[in-house]
Amino acid sequence: MTVRARRAVPDHDGAVPKAVAGFFSFTEITDPTAHRAYNEWHQLDHLPEQLPLTGVVSGERWVCSPRCRAARFAADDELTPVHYVTLYLLAEPLGRTLADFAGLAARLRTEGRFFDARRARLSGPFAVRSRHVAPRVAVSAEAVAHRPTRGVYVVVQPTDAEPVGSAGWVEVPGVAGVWGFDGLDEQPTTTGARWRPGPHRITVAFLDDDPVVVAGRLEPHLPAPPGLRLAGPFEAIVPWRWHWFDQCPQRL
């Protein structure tokens, strides 16, 4: 089966960008004592294994720390428990990339290298819909997704909602760039994966200021919460600094 992104969005110079889709995982840690173990597994074992795959352009993960959770603008019942969001940027041929991606996951499970105390509340591939970069930032709209971040602001909407994150967002201080993603026209049926992307569109604002501070600046640009499944900030993750939930033994 051939799986394609809905369309390639040309960069400013007319070139077709390398990343045509993003694979998202919105993850809940089901054991409140397991955050350090989860971060050690994902950052030191799981994430590095994805990056050698030919079609994986990059991979990054951010945390909804307690301070980010307090700054959330909206979250429905299904996505309220989310602690982390992971984004892998993917290249064509997308069908082959997704098959390799799923195949690696199956192999790692067979080897006992998967983490059980987690639940993917929303996961799967999404086509890149749009790219914007702040005028103050020197890099291109495609490159801004690879620029270091202080965190991200993520919005999840139904596909029939008017997308947020237009070019106006890049005028907000602390927003370096914004990418929009839509569900794929076709979902892969031959990978054997248990992905649940559903009918969603996702917006990611890449931040170079404190994500909680930028969250307050973005709120006037958001629609009323009934049109949102999730809207809130996530912090960048520094290796071996996985302490956000150490003083929060309750279920978060």
* CA-CA-CA-CA torsion sign (172, 69, 60, 27): negative
Measured from the Cβ of residue 47, the count of other Cβ atoms closer than 10 Å reads 15
pLDDT band for position 1 (cuts 50, 70, 90): very low
Mean of per-residue pLDDT scores for the chain: 89
Report if residue 249 sits inside a domain.
no
pLDDT, one tens digit per residue, over 154-199 is: 999 998 888 887 778 999 999 999 999 998 865 555 445 567 667 8
User: What is the reported pLDDT for 190?
Assistant: 47
CATH number at residue 196: 3.30.70
Name the residue range of residue 142's domain: 21-236
Report if residue 210 sits inside a domain.
yes
pTM of the model: 0.91
Q: Is 35 helix (H, G, I), strand (E, B) or coil?
A: helix
Count of domains observed in the chain: 1
- Token pair for 207: 């931040």
Mean pLDDT of 87-112: 93
Report if residue 2 sits inside a domain.
no
pLDDT, one tens digit per residue, over 38-93 is: 999 999 999 999 999 999 999 999 999 999 999 999 999 999 999 999 999 999 99
b/e string for 141-165 if b means 16 or more Cβ within 10 A?
bbebbeeebbbbbbbbbeeebebbb
Report if residue 12 sits inside a domain.
no
